[in-house]
Amino acid sequence: MANANLVVIMGNLTRKPELRSTQGGRSVTTLSVAVNRVYKDKNTGEKVENTDFIDVSVWGRQAETCEKYLSKGSGVYVEGRLNLRRWESQNGDPRSKLEVVARNVQFLSYGGSNKSNSGDNEDSYPKDETNPKGETKSQDTESEDIPF
C-alpha cells in the first residue's frame, strides 16, 4: 500500500518568525500559524469558531526569507509534511511534539511596519508599465466579457 504524508495549511502568524542555525550551519525558522475553523454545532445549531495553533519548521534559504519578510499577523500558505519529534526532558520524562516541516511557504499578505515589503513602501510591489504609479483603476466590465 502506498503512503502519503502531505499537509496544507493557510492562516496567520501568531508571532514573529524565529531564525536560528543548526550546529552544521543550516538555517531553520520556526513559525506558529493560527488556522481558524468554523462549523455548526449539531446539538444547538449555533456557529462555533475554533482556532488551531500549528508549529511549522522552515529550512534553508526559505527559512531566511521567511524571517526577513514575515511578521506577526502575516498570512501564509504552507505545504509540507507532518513530523513527530520525540525527546526526553531533563528529568527523563518522554516528550513529543507534532509539527509541520514546510516544503513550500507562500506569503499571502505582508505584515509589520519595518519590513521592506510591508505594503507601506511605494516600491514594495512591481509596477505595471501601463500603470507606473501603481494606481488602482476601476474597470467597468460588461456581463458579456465575463467568461462564465
Domain ranges of the chain: 7-111
Say how far apart CA 147 and CA 54 lie, in whole Å. 39
DSSP string computed for 82-131: EEEEEEE-TTS-EEEEEEEEEEEEEE-S---SSSTTSS-STTSSPPBTTB
**Percent of the chain residues topping a pLDDT of 70:** 73
Residue 118 has a pLDDT of 34
Q: Given the C-alpha cell 550551519, which residue does it identify?
A: 25
For 86-119, write each residue's pLDDT tens digit: 999 999 999 999 999 999 999 996 544 434 333 3
Pick the CATH number of 7-111 from 2.40.50.140, 1.20.5.510, 1.10.1530.10, 3.30.420.40: 2.40.50.140
